[in-house]
Structure 1
Amino acid sequence: MAQELPRRTNFSGPALIRLLSRLLDAHVREPGQPLPDRLSQWLGWTDAIGLASALGAAPAVAAAARPGHAEPGAAQAEEDYAHVRAMLERAIAELGEPAAAPPRARQKGLGGARGRPAPPVEYSTYRRRYVSLQQNMESAIAALRARLRTALASASPGAARLAVLDAVMEQALDAREHELLSAVPALLERRFLRLRPADPEPDADSLVGRAPASDDWQAVFRRDMQSVLRAELDLRLQPVDGLLAALRSGAP
């Protein structure tokens, strides 16, 4: 089956949006408002108070860690970051394995040439796997982000203020981020339906004397899905990258 080449887009936003626009052949326009104006629409008055307090406060920095409870330094934070990222990237790579057919379907496949083939994978299978990975990313990255804030809080007054500011921003934007990223699986379904053959389950009689249909379209979709997951991972890690850069700059 010939694969359609995704249309290019001139949109210069995040890689995740550019990738989705190409896969769906959708035209995405540049936002009409600058980022600060759009960000202000996502924040309520309680968030503004929290941000003002974080910017104006002078957080105390721990003079020394308690014995046996040393705070992680920049080197340990780098290792922590690398471990979490590698774990999530490995989980994304494992999505390349095809889903196993149900036991009943495998048994039917032993019935001879005229038996109905195993049913094709439905998108609901991929949706569950995508949502599960989103949940894994969300929990692992939130815990990593909190640990990096703890490391920053003991580094310097400026770093401690950044840690407080990041905590306020995470709380303020968490619901908005969840709302936007939860729409990605539904967008991927459109790509799945475009790649899937028009007749994925032909009658048994129509298969006599014919070679089985190619499953290459599923391999193409899994690669697309992995690419989207990696782009989402990069997007979710951007605040963590900022915290880690701040730790690096303050390291001896």
Structure 2
Amino acid sequence: MAKASQRAPVLGPAFIRLLARFKDDATSPTAPDVSARLATWFDWNRAITLSRALDNLPAPAPDGATFDQDHDADCTRVRDRLLQAIHAEIAPVGPVDADAPDPYAPYRQHYQAQQRAMQTATGNLRGRLRDMLARQSTAKARLAEVDAVMEATLSPREHTLLSHVPALLGLHYQRLHDSAASADAQASATTTALFLQDLRTALLAELEVRFHPIEGLLAALRTR
């Protein structure tokens, strides 16, 4: 009896492993060299800006709100709203027709809409937290400047990489759709339910990625 081919395990965060499963190819198990990868993302201008943020005294922070329990609770509310939108019943833009030229299109539009909501909410929240961090102390103001440089440098790359997720989900959808093409209605419905679960899992994993810098800022703000 022929042995089923075994794929090498994919190393990396849960989000990366999930995307590798959607892609369904033999991804190299070698973990990426993070320092080497980051070196390609920083041009000399960004490197100088980061060096200045680390070495120079930060500029005085403008007047504004200081971090307190209300702001902490507001961060929780922002995350909860995004989680509720992800767990809500998926209502794609337009009808989902398996016989349409592009039956995945409504799901792609739904995922992209969720991405835009996450990007807007987390971007605004990150900026507000950074401003409040800069008002706490000189050391924390330097950390806020470093975060601003990192966001300006890495966010465009992050946006480009995350914009590929709907396409990977589309490949996953197509494989499931093809496997269920000759199945009965009940099996087809089960396949759709499995896909929707995977779509939500991808959105939840992406939300975690987008909240990583926010959690770092919150940890600094809570430390006195």
Q: 1:75-133 deviations in whole A, cap 9, x for unaligned?
A: 23321210111111111112x4465975xxxxxxxxxxxxxxx9437100000011111
Name the CA distance, whole Å, in 2 between partners of 1:25 and 1:157: 48
Show the counterpart of 2:164. Answer: 183
Distance 1:59 1:217, change over 3 A: same
Q: 1:33-66 deviations in whole A, cap 9, x for unaligned?
A: 531221011111111111011111212555x95x
Name the CA distance, whole Å, in 2 between partners of 1:211 and 1:217: 10
Please say if residues 180 and 191 of structure 2, whose CA atoms lie closer than 8 Å, have aligned partners that are also in contact: no
Distance 1:199 1:20, change over 3 A: closer
Structure 1: 5+ residue stretches without partners: 1-6, 103-117, 203-209
Task: State how 1:76-87 maps to structure 2 within 5 Å.
Answer: 76-87=70-81
Show the counterpart of 1:39. Answer: 38
Name the CA distance, whole Å, in 2 between partners of 1:137 and 1:17: 18
Show the counterpart of 2:14. Answer: 15
| Equivalent position SS for 1:28 | coil
Please say if residues 8 and 22 of structure 1, whose CA atoms lie closer than 8 Å, have aligned partners that are also in contact: no
* Structure number, greater radius of gyration: 1
> What displacement does 1:176 show?
0.7
Structure 2: 5+ residue stretches without partners: 1-5
AA aligned to 1:248 is R
| Equivalent position SS for 2:223 | helix
Show the counterpart of 1:242. Answer: 216
Distance 1:220 1:160, change over 3 A: same
Please say if residues 9 and 22 of structure 1, whose CA atoms lie closer than 8 Å, have aligned partners that are also in contact: no
Q: 1:202-228 deviations in whole A, cap 9, x for unaligned?
A: 9xxxxxxx9776412111101000000
> What displacement does 1:12 show?
3.1
Task: State how 1:207-222 maps to structure 2 within 5 Å.
Answer: 214-222=188-196
TM-score by length of 2: 0.85
Q: 1:169-221 deviations in whole A, cap 9, x for unaligned?
A: 1111121111100000010011101111457599xxxxxxx977641211110
Identity %: 40
